[in-house]
Amino acid sequence: MKIFIKFDFNAVCRKVLEEKLIKHNINYRILGFGEVDVLGKIDASVFKALTEELKEYGIDIIENQKSVLVQKIKDAIIEMIHSPELVNVKSSVYLAEKLSHSYGYLSNLFSDVTYTSIENYIILQKIEYAKQLIVSSDLSLTEIAFQLNYSSVAHLSTQFKNVTGITPSAFQRIITKRREIATKK
């Protein structure tokens, strides 16, 4: 039997993080996605254990300031893509205002650390979100294109195919076929 799961990545990460911090008796305050204010000192052995336990879930503690800012850029992009009220906001303006740095600085830093541009990262995240919406919602491709601020379904389809190698329509057919096969078993 197959089951299909829909999950909120942010909620899962937050829950794991809270459980591990509580387990190690660390006083904390979650400031936002990917940012925790530790209230007090952490013993080196506790910090090492926490780091290792979080790593098992694919969660890394970032200590380098450039990497911290790059992670904040990534988090802001994901927040922007997943927030309907931010759909028409220009990404360069949003990132500059949210992170209090010029977009040029953020763009150069991001490229230096990740070897890709912010624009490419945005496209990748939009396509990942489009795939999630195709799998977990009943939205049409037109509605998905609108929700992700594409000018047309054709624009979404072009970027989707460039990233995944198939069109969103083909992706939908594959998902539908898999569900049909799974329900017959």
Q: List the one residue out of 57, 94, 55, 49 whose CA is nearest residue 75.
A: 94
E strand or H helix at 163, and its extent? helix 153-164
Which stretches of the chain score pLDDT less than 50?
none
Query: H or E stretch including 10?
Result: helix 9-23
pLDDT at 33: 66
**Residue 35: phi, psi to the nearest 5?**
-140, 120
Cα separation values, 9 from 14, 24, 33, 49, 62, Å: 9, 23, 11, 23, 19
State the CB neighbour count (10 A cutoff) for residue 144.
22
Per domain, the residue ranges of the chain are 9-55, 64-115, 122-185
The pLDDT value recorded for residue 161 is 95
Q: CATH assignment of 122-185?
A: 1.10.10.60
pLDDT tens per residue across span 113-130: 899 999 999 999 999 999
Q: Distances in Å between the alpha carbon of 22 and those of 50, 113, 149? A: 10, 32, 40
- Specify the pLDDT at position 42: 82
Q: What is the pLDDT of residue 175?
A: 87
Residue 87: predicted pLDDT? 72
Residue that is written with structure tokens 């990497």 in the block: 67
pLDDT value of position 143: 92
